[in-house]
A and B are shown apart, each in its own frame.
Chain A
Amino acid sequence: MDKTTYRKRSRTRKLGITAGLSLLTTGCGERYLVFRPVGPVGQVEKDLIILSIILVLAVIIPVILLLWRIVWRYRDVPGNPAPYDPEWSESHVLEVIWWGIPIVIVGVLGAFTVRDTFLLTKPPERTAAPLTVQVTSLNWKWLFQYPDQKIATVNYCEIPTNRPIQFILSANGPMNSFWVPQLGGQEYAMPGMAMRLWLQADRSGVYYGHGANFTGRGFAHMAFNVIARPRAEFDGWVQQVRHSAPVLTRVGYQSLVQSSIVEPMTFSAYAPGIFESALLKEGGMYMKRDLTMLGRSHGH
């Protein structure tokens, strides 16, 4: 899938649906993070959501209107002139209609769903080389490692804009789910396993993220910000981190693995192999195919 189709598709659909959308995105709409995507992934998901809302309204509205009308018209009050037909209980025409309409709706929504499901497994834009960020859910904090920059952060994440980000998700602790609504939907972060989630920000900004799958006592405090800024600023930030921040040692990592709630942290370097060894600890035997993903993300 190349860039143009990925974009064009969502734009054609956008035309038809801006009307319904405007309702939710005006006024205090900026709070509805899911409806305020800042990148192509979130945009595809938002479009699908809007489409599904329109399609289901095509059933809900008639049902509610019919219900209202029927209950009113046929209520049992003396002298009600409406017809009473206690034996009338079959109509092939009617039944064909209401088996048919849902089938059509499911057909349409199903087709778009399948298309987008496949679409989202691919990187959003091929023009810029993707940046890889390894994400580990720990009790109760998020560790971000940049294998190419060799730096690490905790509880916040900086990314360049207009560049696909390949998040490689894992956990060294209970299963979590990595969710940054304005960039796009979530994916589980599971122990002993690595999973890929493509996201991208087209606009600079600070985006709210949170663990979405319950991990115990400190779960409610697993918020993090994703800070997106233009490439040059991002590179500047990397340089600055390299020169100023402390190093994440193996011992330091072990203390992060312990249950605790911490403030954001920054590291100029980290002990190599932290991510991989947690993943493969004691074998990590059931997801052999993930090794290729790791290999690719590392470039060796």
Chain B
Amino acid sequence: MSTFLPHFPATFIVTGDPLIYGAEVSIVLATVGILFVLTYFKKWRWLWREWLTTVDHKKISVMYLIAALLMFFRGGVDAMLMRTQLIRPNMSFLQAEHYNQIFTTHGTIMILFMAMPFIFAMFNIAVPLQIGARDVAFPYLNAVSFWLFFFAALLFNLSFVVGGSPDAGWVSYPPLAGLEFDRGPGENFYLLSLQITGIGSIATGINFMATILKMRAPGMTLMRMPLFSWSVLASSILIIFAFPALTVALALLLIDRLAGAHFFTMFQGGNPMMYINLFWIWGHPEVYIVILPAFGIFSEVVSTFSGKRIFGYSSMVASLMTISVISYVLWVHHFFTMGAGPGVNSFFAVATMCVGIPTGVKVFNWLFTMYRGRIRLTVPMLWAIAFIPIFAIGGATGVMLAAAPADYQYHNSFFLIAHFHQVLIGGTVFGMLAGMYYWWPKMFGYMLNERLGRWAFWLFNSGFYVTFFPQYLLGLMGMTRRMYTYPANMGWNTLNFISTMGAYVMGIGFIVLVMDVVYSIRFGERDVTGDPWNGRTLEWSLPSPAPHYNFARIPTVTSRDAWWTSKQERSRSDAPRKLEPLQPIHMPKSSGRPFIMSAIFFIGGFGLVFNWYALGFLALLGVLVSMLLRSLEYDTDYYVPVEEIEQTEAALGRA
């Protein structure tokens, strides 16, 4: 064990590479710039009061979304760098060390710091509004989740310039990720930041499960609940039962690294296979955690833009739930080649194929939701339609991978890479972008531009096929993943070149998407009705953006597609609606503690990365004190008086 005095490794600030110098300079410039703007426009108070201390699910959603897009950018730059290195054989654009760091940060960021906050942005904006609630069950905890994620992402990204990035892959298998082969602090950054964000994710899972089970408006039975909320319930259950396995895996590996234990070391009784199992006991459900909400979004989008009820609602619910149960018993398919006996491999192979059944059912139900509808090809709908063929193929290659003996030939090859990008991009990313375009007016009160949105869609979608289809073939040609370079005589050159071109097209698509966001901030069409898409679920009954208490009166639900039904009823009779008198609304108070406590987590995490135990223990103490203070706090909520509600509603043009 090292001393309690800080000791700075020689490589504290990463040096020696123009990319990194560039990043360091731009980080300093951006920080100075932001500080200057905030000070110059006297925005510090505003920032603190409106954002850093908020517990409002709608604002938390906005912050998640911004963070997810930023991380998408960072992960995307990583992807461009990797594809550039692979554009030709024997390229020397990146050194092996850099390539290894880049694919590690790419995978980690895309899954944990892009996909996760993106789905949480969607959870937060839509669930309370869809089920007729005024906030989530635990608004304070919701803020804690966000800030833990935020500071974890900061910690992870810091490794780029301080100490060095992790480089053992996003799966970080020991012994490669153990002290023996990986001394630098990079791996500690990985372990600690994932641990911190994982706590936040578990809290979010609990929060949304409680919200959905306990806070639905009167009359909204489970079987009347919108499918997105169902998918969030399924995903939350998965989070609650899967993340603890990751917590354990990371903690044990961290103890190995910091305290010299031997859980996963090569010898002295350590067993790296244990880590691999624990990792995938989380890792496999994790892929469903990020895909199920996308399924939910597609259900909403397809039904809305076909002007039609969702087809086979009960089947849809059944398949969501079946998937979330089955996905716990699939993890071994990530290592059929680790020598489990044929019985074990057979079991997991067939179980994995079985998960294809409910998934296939969902695809057919989406198709038949469109059948006999009236399909409006808006941007969210384009993403949803494009998702279907990509996901059908991605799911099919998944079933092919599940055939264990066949998998011996695909495993760790580019075939696998193509498969999971097909489902992660075609499924999760398309789903989140569909959701972003769909709920953007609800979040911000204006629409994103259709024209730019279409450009972004077509570029990204066609770039996708060009990038990833060649990778299936490369896999069958024997190209393994995580090679920073490859020989010229294997026949892999053309396909790699094509794949890189496709990646560039996707990159351009992403830039157009960002242009759309920036353009629409200024020129976006305002959404004055609150229901720009002729929606079906309760969030569209509210003004855009919704007032902070969401519903002045909690609606009573009498059917599925509650808002659609009440629109129909209204159009049938002109009888003036009878309104209940307003009541004061019970709301949670803002709090700065989630921010501060998470910042302390960050400081402690940073300390442990460099084995500065004193700092680590101090921070742990700080965290405990903030939790104690919270439990002694009673002044946590207040009532919005009726006059204020009346004024707000009148200002929003609602009686």
Contacts and interface: CB of A to CB of B under 8 A. Distances in A.
Given A113-B403, A192-B266, A67 B367 contact: yes
A117 to B, nearest CB: 5
A89 B313 CA distance: 8
Contact of A99 (B306, B357, B478): B357
A186 B393 contact: no
Interface in B329-384: 335, 337-339, 341-342, 345-346, 349-350, 353-354, 356-357, 360-361, 363-365, 367-377
Contact of B361 (A102, A188, A281): A102
Tell me which of A35, A70, A91, A208 has the highest count of chain B C-beta atoms within 10 A of its own C-beta.
A70
Interface in A207-246: 208, 210-220, 223
B272 interface: yes
Interface residues of B, number: 92
Given A31-B490, A218-B96, A95 B315 contact: yes
Contact of A56 (B175, B396, B477): B396
Contacts of B57: none
B173 A48 contact: no
Interface SS of chain B: helix
Interface in A158-199: 173-175, 177, 179, 181, 184-188, 190-193, 195
Contact of A109 (B310, B353, B365, B367): B353
Given A32-B476, A109-B403, A177-B412, A220 B361 contact: no
Given A106-B350, A117-B405, A220-B484, A49 B400 contact: yes
B100 interface: yes
A191 B100 CA distance: 22
Interface string A97-129: 011011100100110111011111100000000
A82 B372 contact: yes
Nearest to A51: B403
Nearest to B363: A63
Contact of A60 (B392, B411, B476, B480): B392
B405 A71 contact: no
A32 B375 contact: no
A1 interface: no
B451 to A, nearest CB: 18
Nearest to A72: B375
B271 interface: yes
Contact of A67 (B273, B372, B385, B405): B385
Nearest to A75: B375
Contacts of B375: 70-71, 74-76
Interface string B375-416: 111000000010011001100110110111111111111000
A74 B306 contact: yes
B310 to A, nearest CB: 6
Contacts of B412: 177, 179, 186, 212-214
Contacts of A103: 357
Given A60-B396, A63-B367, A214-B176, A106 B405 contact: no
A94 B373 CA distance: 17
A196 to B, nearest CB: 8
Kindly name the residue among A44, A55, A175 whose own CB sees the greatest number of chain B CB atoms within 10 A: A175
B483 A219 contact: yes
Contact of A66 (B338, B339, B367, B405): B367
B405 A116 contact: yes
A297 to B, nearest CB: 16
Given A56-B400, A64-B392, A106-B356, A74 B370 contact: yes
A113 B400 CA distance: 10
Given A32-B477, A188-B335, A215-B176, A181 B409 contact: yes
Contacts of A45: 405-406, 408-409
Given A55-B399, A187-B339, A282-B267, 7 more contacts: A28-B491, A89-B309, A112-B403, A120-B408, A174-B181, A185-B407, A220-B482
Interface of A: 24, 28, 31-35, 42, 44-46, 48-49, 52-53, 55-57, 59-60, 63-64, 66-67, 70-71, 74-76, 80, 82-91, 94-95, 98-99, 101-103, 106, 109-110, 112-114, 116-121, 139, 173-175, 177, 179, 181, 184-188, 190-193, 195, 208, 210-220, 223, 281-286
6 contacts: A56-B397, A84-B372, A106-B357, A174-B181, A208-B478, A210-B478
